[in-house]
């Protein structure tokens, strides 16, 4: 493949060395890799022209913000390699942060040099490859709609109009959404993983399923058994009132802070 490799190439910097090394790897695999300094190709039209003139088929950028940004919208696939400043500096500036999120959505892959850089990126921008997969899948599935984030009041209003709230997560955590549904008296159907099982007791405060077949079976049961629905909803509401109340949380934090007061006096 004929590749454009865009990087910040000030001489004798770590970047230049890294870029050169990556270029060698790619050329060793038979690709043609044109390594360019971002300062030589600064405008989008210059890049478009270069891509066309050199018949480039794909691109790579070292630095998401300084390089990746310039590769957007040229109609060729590209990947990016995170640079240190992406995650140490640029991430903290709102506009740059948003630009980087957009670049990541378009990028086919992203490389981070360390596990901690990867985690930081994943935390900032909720995994672009996965996001793309989910969006594509939802598009192909009739009856399923993907909604963007919305203000909490709107979400609660929408929730109240739902027959049930489903949590099919396979990764652990603590679901505030489930507790909110319980508080709003909407029945909960959740995958049986420890995080969910900690708040949903099967057939008491909600229904737990382990696989798609069981989900279908329980959903049908919930639809056809109003007494069960009523009981689950009542128990859920009571559970939230007892164990997750705003007042209890307030008291707990206020008490915990008091324990700090004592220790500073000594
Ligand atoms: C679903 O459940 C998981 C595990 O408890 C939790 O981390 C996640 O936030 C929940 N998501 C929703 C939308 O309820």
28-69 pLDDT, tens digit each:
988 999 999 998 887 889 999 999 999 999 999 999 999 999
Which of residues 112, 128, 144 is at a domain's end?
128
Strand pairing class (32-37; 110-111)? unpaired
How many C-beta atoms lie closer than 10 Å to residue 43's C-beta?
9
State whether 17 and 98 are in the same domain.
Answer: yes
CA–centroid distance, residue 83 to ligand 1 (Å): 32
Task: Indicate which atom in ligand 1 lies nearest the CA of residue 191.
Answer: 2
What is the pLDDT averaged over residues 147-176? 88
State whether 9 and 123 are in the same domain.
Answer: yes
Whole domain around residue 192: which residue ranges?
A: 152-248
CATH code of the domain covering residue 185: 3.40.50.2000
Residue 175 has pLDDT above 90, yes or no: no
Q: Does a structural domain hold residue 253?
A: no
State whether 11 and 120 are in the same domain.
Answer: yes
CA 258 to chain centre: 37
CA–centroid distance, residue 96 to ligand 1 (Å): 29
Task: Indicate which atom in ligand 1 lies nearest the CA of residue 168.
Answer: 1
DSSP conformational letter for 202 = B
Which of residues 128, 160, 194 is at a domain's end?
128
CA–centroid distance, residue 173 to ligand 1 (Å): 6
Candidate from 178, 188, 192, 205 with most ligand 1 atoms within 8 A of CB, to mutate: 178
Q: What are the structure tokens assigned to 189, written together? A: 């159907």
Q: What are the structure tokens assigned to 208, written together? A: 């737990």
Q: Is 77 in the pocket of ligand 1 (CB under 6 A)?
A: no
Task: Indicate which atom in ligand 1 lies nearest the CA of residue 198.
Answer: 5
Q: Does a structural domain hold residue 258?
A: no
How many C-beta atoms lie closer than 10 Å to residue 60's C-beta?
28
What is the pLDDT averaged over residues 174-195? 92
Strand order in the sheet with 58-62: 32-37, 2-7, 58-62, 78-81, 110-111
State whether 19 and 116 are in the same domain.
Answer: yes
The model's confidence at residue 156, banded by pLDDT at 50, 70 and 90, is very high
Q: What are the structure tokens assigned to 91, written together? A: 């991430």
**pLDDT for the residue 263:** 55
What is the pLDDT averaged over residues 190-200? 93
State whether 114 and 161 are in the same domain.
Answer: no
Residue 257 has pLDDT above 80, yes or no: no
Q: Is 169 in the pocket of ligand 1 (CB under 6 A)?
A: yes
- Burial of 177-213, coded b for 16+ CB within 10 Å and e otherwise, reads ebbbbbbbebbbbbbebebbeebbeeeebbbbbeeee
State whether 157 and 45 are in the same domain.
Answer: no
**pLDDT for the residue 262:** 56
* Cα 58 from Cα 230, distance rounded (Å): 57
| Cα angle 253-254-255, degrees, rounded to a multiple of 5 | 90
The candidate with the shortest Cα–Cα distance to 91, out of 123, 114, 60, 59, is 123
The model's confidence at residue 80, banded by pLDDT at 50, 70 and 90, is very high
State whether 107 and 16 are in the same domain.
Answer: yes
Domains identified in the chain, total number: 2
Residue 243 has pLDDT above 90, yes or no: no
Q: Does a structural domain hold residue 146?
A: no
State whether 168 and 75 are in the same domain.
Answer: no
Q: Does a structural domain hold residue 52?
A: yes
Quickly list H helices, 29-127.
44-53, 84-88, 94-106, 115-124
Q: Does a structural domain hold residue 256?
A: no
State whether 174 and 65 are in the same domain.
Answer: no
pTM for this predicted structure: 0.58
Q: Is 173 in the pocket of ligand 1 (CB under 6 A)?
A: yes
| Maximum CA extent, the chain | 74
What is the pLDDT averaged over residues 204-226? 97
Q: Does a structural domain hold residue 147?
A: no
CA–centroid distance, residue 52 to ligand 1 (Å): 46
């Amino acid at each position: 493949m004929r590749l454009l490799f865009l990087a910040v190439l000030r001489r004798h910097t770590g970047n230049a060395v890294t870029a050169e090394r990556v270029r060698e790897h790619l050329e060793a695999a038979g690709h043609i890799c044109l390594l360019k300094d971002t300062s030589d190709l600064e405008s989008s039209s210059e890049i478009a022209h270069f891509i066309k003139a050199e018949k480039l088929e794909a691109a790579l950028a070292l630095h998401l913000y300084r390089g990746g940004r310039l590769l957007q919208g040229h109609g060729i696939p590209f990947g990016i390699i995170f640079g240190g400043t992406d995650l140490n500096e640029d991430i903290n500036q709102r506009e740059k942060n948003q630009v980087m999120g957009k670049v990541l959505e378009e990028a086919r892959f992203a490389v981070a040099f360390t596990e901690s850089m990867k985690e930081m990126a994943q935390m900032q921008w909720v995994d672009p490859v996965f996001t793309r997969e989910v969006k594509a899948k939802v598009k192909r599935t009739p009856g399923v709609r993907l909604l963007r984030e919305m203000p909490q009041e709107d979400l609660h209003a929408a929730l109240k109009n739902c027959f049930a709230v489903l949590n099919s997560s396979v990764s652990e955590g603590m679901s505030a959404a489930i507790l909110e549904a319980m508080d709003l008296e909407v029945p909960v159907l959740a995958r049986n993983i420890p995080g969910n099982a900690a708040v949903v007791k099967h057939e008491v405060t909600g229904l737990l399923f382990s696989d798609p077949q069981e989900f279908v079976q329980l959903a049908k049961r919930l639809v056809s058994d109003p007494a069960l629905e009523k009981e689950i909803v009542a128990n859920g509401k009571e559970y939230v009132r007892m164990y997750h109340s705003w007042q209890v949380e307030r008291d707990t934090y206020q008490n915990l802070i008091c324990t700090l007061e004592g220790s500073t006096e000594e």
